[in-house]
Structure formats: C-alpha cells, structure tokens
Structure 1
Amino acid sequence: MTALRFGVNYTPRKDWFYSWLEPSWDEIRRDLDGIASLGLDHVRIFPFWPILQPNRTLIRPRALADVRELVRIAGEAGLDASVDVIQGHMSSYDFVPAWLTSWHTTNMFTDAGALQAQAELARALHEAVADLPNYLGLTLGNEVNQFSGDPHPAPMRASSEQAGNWIRTLLDAVPADGRGLRLHAEYDAVWYLDDHPFLPTHAARLGDVTAIHSWIFNGTAQRYGGMSAQSVRHGEYLVELARAFATDVDRPVWLQEIGAPLNCLDASEAPAFCEQAVRHAADSPALWGVTWWCSHDVDRSLADFPELEYSLGLFDADGKVKPIGRAFAAVAEELRGRAAAPDPRREAVVVEVDDDDVPVRRADLAPGGAVFTAWTDLAREGRRPAVVTSATVASAADLAARGVTAVHLPAASGVSAYSAVSDSSALATGSM
C-alpha cells in the first residue's frame, strides 16, 4: 500500500502572498523548515497570477525563477512542492490580471486568447520546475470555479461544456511526462450547487487525481454544530462523494484543503476537530493524502481580511506552533505509518443522476440534503457508507467492481443548508 501524504498549504508568514512581489528567501526558508519540523512531507504553493502574467502575452521569467527557487528551498527542507497556476482567488480577494478586467473585460473560460494565455502559463510553470526532484505536481488553480457564476459579484459565466473545455485545455498544455501530477481543484459548489457549470464528472474524471476542498462554514457547522458528526465527517463524505463519480474505481482523492475555521469552532475545539476530521477522511481507501489549510496565520498588521483568516494556521504569525499544529503532526505521524489500507465499504447511498451522470438535484448532496442526511445518519450509527450513482446501481458489474453489496435510497429530499460563501451567519435552512 502507498503511504498517505500529509502536508500544508503554505501561507508565507512575512507579508502573506504579497511576498511574491519581493521574496525574502531567508524568511521563506525559516517557514519551510518549521513546516518540516512537524514531520509533514509536502507544501502547496500559490504564486499570484498578475505577478506571473501581467500581460496576456508576457510571462515574467523572474517570476518563474522565484517559483523555482521556492520549490528548490522546499526540497532542501525535505518537502515536496505542488504548484498552483491561476491565483486567482485567495482569502476573499481576487487577483486577476488587468487584461481580463475593467476596460479589457473578457472571460477567462470562454475567450480564445485568454484560454491560450492560461495554457501557456500552465506549460511554462511546469517546465520551470519539473526537473526538480521534489516537484509534486501542478494544480490549474485555487477554486477558480468561483469566477464562473453566482455568488461572485462579477462572474465570468460559462456553460458546463465551456468549463470542461477550460479544464481540458489547460491540462493538455502540461506534458504528460510523468514529472508530477496534473490536476484541477474546485470549491464545493461543484458538488452542492445546482446549475453550477463545473460538474462532479469534471472533478472526478479529468486530471490525475480528484481534489476536494472541505470547509464546514458552508452551512454544515451552522446547521449541525462545529463539532457535530456531520462536521467532523464532512471531509470523509466528500472523499466518498468524489469516488462515486469516478469511472476508475482506483482513482485517488486528494483532500487538498481542510481547515478549522474559528467562525464555526472555538479555538479550544480546533485540535480535536483536526484530529477527528483527518482520522475519518483516512478511513476511505481512496484517500491519497491531506493538505491542511494553512501553514501560518495572517499577520494582523495586514488589514481587511475576514476575521477567520487571521487564525487558520498551524503556526501563529510569529512562527510558533499552535496546539492545532501539534495535533495535525501527531495524527499524520500515526496514520502515515498504518500497516494496511482501510477495508472496502460494502454499503452505499445512491445519488440519482441523469443520462450525462449529472446529479438530478445537487442540493440533495449538500448539507441538509437527502443524500447528505442519509449518509451521515448511517455514519453516526457506526457504519461505513460509500456513495454510488444510480447509473452504477444499474450495472451489476460496476457495483461489484466497487465492492458494494447493499444500497440505500435516500428518503424524500431534505432542505439544503448550503452556503457558497464563508459566512458564519449563513442561514441554517434554505438553499443558496
């Protein structure tokens, strides 16, 4: 069996991601050495798009060199590094180059020139770092699907066909040369929000692995409580939901973001939330690894961030390990050394899909929805439910390939509590 991977989304302690404007390599080295001291094995890094590509036909060599240097320094610390391409959106701020906005407004998903530019950037970033031995792979961007529709205040709207074309175009630009994983990552609207253009089939079938981002401020904690079974098992549920839509039954799932938001939890609860959430997710045979959000708290000298962003780190803004950092390190050490993979899951909750494998009602999958409720009810009984689609259930061979011997049809639809924004005051009922 392949050992589970445990890492962290790297947020520089000095100057946050604005540090890409003028990296302090000594500060970065200190951060990465601290991360490595927790026994973690990788970081995910986020160079900002306007710094990399300030003009549609200009990719800055200096910016590529800075990305390479950060990956190299991570290697010196004993850490693999995964690079995100399109940043994009980070901690409530959009970082979009000027050639897409205001007087030059166009659509990053549908404009031919914009597509070509992004593909060239993906190719250039890969080539800048792919020869480094600790290069883990490349993600197209950080939750870029949030630009594609509501609730973004200025969406660049796309159809599902156009969203799929965007993913394929950028993935195809990165050579399939075995030098790192090629993947994309969406926030949970892809699973939970009806009419969202990015689809579960995109997430689970394009790229080398499926990436999921699990946050309980999406209505889960507001409805059930931050330390409820529904909240601490939300990541596990998403792993199983992702597996349901994969055509390759062995396709790995990367829990690429999960954190302990203090708009839903007390600080004293964060270590226990971390330990329980990671342990539950690791009970899925599909899990590739967990990358915690994030490494360091945002320093309070930086203004106007949502309050929770100042508290999400495993380290505080002075670089001191927090209790949650010790908790993540401990559970990672334990689970990395486990002797055997989890047993297969023999029973599953069914998601009804149409002829294109699109959920008939994605709100059923969301917190409070019928599928979510059926799955979490079984989990709370001490059972280990999977998720399968109605198309899989219709094929005895497909069902057998997944090892599922019993299925559960959800009861009548519940009321989704899903919120597509990280707002602790989101309504506990009603779908968004």
Structure 2
Amino acid sequence: MTADATVARPALRLDGDVWLGANYWSRTGGPFMWRTYDGAVVREELRILRDHGVTLTRSFFFWPDFQPAPDTIDEEFVARWRDFLRASEELGVATVPTFLVGHMSGEDWDVPWRGGRDLYRDGFMLGQQAWFIREMVRRTVDSPAVAGWLISNEFTNYAGPSDPDYVRAWGWCASTPYGPAAPPSRSRSATVPGRWS
C-alpha cells in the first residue's frame, strides 16, 4: 500500500499476503501431541501442509499440560513448543498459538487445579489465565514463526455462559498480558464461538 492510499472501512481487501491456514494437531497425539511430541513427524506434517499451499497453522497450547499447577509452566513442554516453532520457521509456515485450550474436539480439558472456580468471575483464575498468557508470550515472542496470538478456543463451551460485563472484563484481563512484549505487527484476538480471527 502506498503512503497516500486510503482504505475505506470496512475493507474487503487490504494489500499484503493472504494466509491459507488450518488448525494443527499432530497425528502423534492430537490434543496430547506435546506429551508424545515427535519433531520428525511434525516437520513431515508441516512440509505436507506447505506443499498443499498452507501458509499458516493455528496451533494450541494444551493448557492442562503447559500449566500443571498454579504459577507453574512445564518447561519440557515449552522446549517441545520451541522445536515446533523452529520447524514452522524452517518450512515457512507461520503459526497463531492459542493459549487457553479448555475445550477442543468436543470435550472440555480442564486444568487439574481449577477446583470448580469460575473462569470469568474468580480473581485467582483471572490472575492465573493472565499469568499463563504473559508467560507464554514471553517465551515465544522472539520466534519469527509466530504471526499473532489467540486467547482461547471455544471458551464459552468450556467456561459456560456468563454476564456480559464479566465476559468483557475477562477479555480485558486475558488480553492485557500481551503488553509491550508483543510487537504491534503481531495480531491478537479473542474468539467468538464458531469462528476465530
């Protein structure tokens, strides 16, 4: 786009590359892929996706694995994640990591330490979600493979309905941790049931 160009909003088309993407879980474990991570298989799968024209994956931190306890990140899973990011970069396939994966493939996958606390209203849970997002951004922000971040996957299926004011506050709490660590060139988004942006 030239400096003197104007774009009417809403724009149907902006200059730049178009992404063709797909949700990605490895065949080595689906949602549990980080437990059975196989870097060679992941590279093969990413290569196949790239060869079919895919330029972006939507990838997922499986929250129960990456945060097994409050204020705790499992660095073994982070090391596997970093290998995935290296593979994505090597093969030229960008990725959009999704943080709070509590619902996936028709099932809820809760963190074992939640104890029935409300994800929208409970201060401890709001703090833990914000902390997890901040810590994962901090650990991945330097990867050129990361095109942006997504807060959650089908969160209302997992957390249930709530008062709109609480949901808005949750969205603010969950997006605040991106802060200065996240370059403005990287996309950030919350999810709406049935679609993501």
Give the shorter-chain TM-score range. 0.7 to 0.9
Q: Distance in 2 between matches of 1:20 and 1:3?
A: 30
Quick check: 116-125 or 140-149, which moved more?
140-149
Q: What is the CA-CA distance between 1:179 and the residue it aligns to?
A: 5.4
Give 2:153's match in structure 1, choosing from 142, 152, 169. 142
Q: Which amino acid aligns with 2:106?
A: S
Contact 2:57 2:93 in 1 (8 A): yes
Q: Distance in 2 between matches of 1:15 and 1:3?
A: 31
TM-score by length of 2: 0.86
CA change 1:124–1:56 in 2 (3 A) is same
Q: Distance in 2 between matches of 1:127 and 1:119?
A: 12
Q: Which residue of 2 aligns with 1:186?
A: 192
Q: Which residue of 2 aligns with 1:10?
A: 24
Q: Which runs of 5+ in 1 are unaligned?
A: 150-156, 189-211, 214-253, 255-432
**Alignment of 1:74 onto 2:83:** no
Q: What is the CA-CA distance between 1:128 and the residue it aligns to?
A: 1.1
Equivalence map 1:104-253=2 (5 Å) = 104-149=115-160, 157-176=161-180, 177-178=183-184, 180-188=186-194, 212-213=195-196
Q: What is the CA-CA distance between 1:186 and the residue it aligns to?
A: 2.0
After superposition, give the CA deviation of every residue in 1:220-256 in whole Å (9 maximum; x if it has no partner): xxxxxxxxxxxxxxxxxxxxxxxxxxxxxxxxxx3xx
Q: Where in structure 1 do 4 or more consecutive aligned residues deviate above 3 Å?
A: none
Which structure exhibits the higher relative contact order, with contacts defined as CA atoms closer than 8 Å and separated by 6 or more residues? 2
Contact 2:67 2:74 in 1 (8 A): yes
Q: Which amino acid aligns with 2:86?
A: R
Q: Which residue of 1 aligns with 2:54?
A: 40
Contact 1:130 1:179 in 2 (8 A): no
Contact 2:118 2:159 in 1 (8 A): no
Aligned partner of residue 144 in structure 2, secondary structure: coil
Q: Distance in 1 between matches of 2:82 and 2:137?
A: 10
Q: Aligned residue pairs: how many?
A: 181
Q: Distance in 1 between matches of 2:172 and 2:26?
A: 31
Contact 1:56 1:114 in 2 (8 A): no
Q: Which amino acid aligns with 2:118?
A: N
Q: Which runs of 5+ in 2 are unaligned?
A: 1-14
**Alignment of 1:20 onto 2:34:** yes
After superposition, give the CA deviation of every residue in 1:75-105 in whole Å (9 maximum; x if it has no partner): 11111111000111111111111111xxx22
CA change 1:13–1:22 in 2 (3 A) is closer
Between the aligned residues of both structures, percent identity stands at: 22
Q: Which has the larger radius of gyration?
A: 1
TM-score by length of 1: 0.40
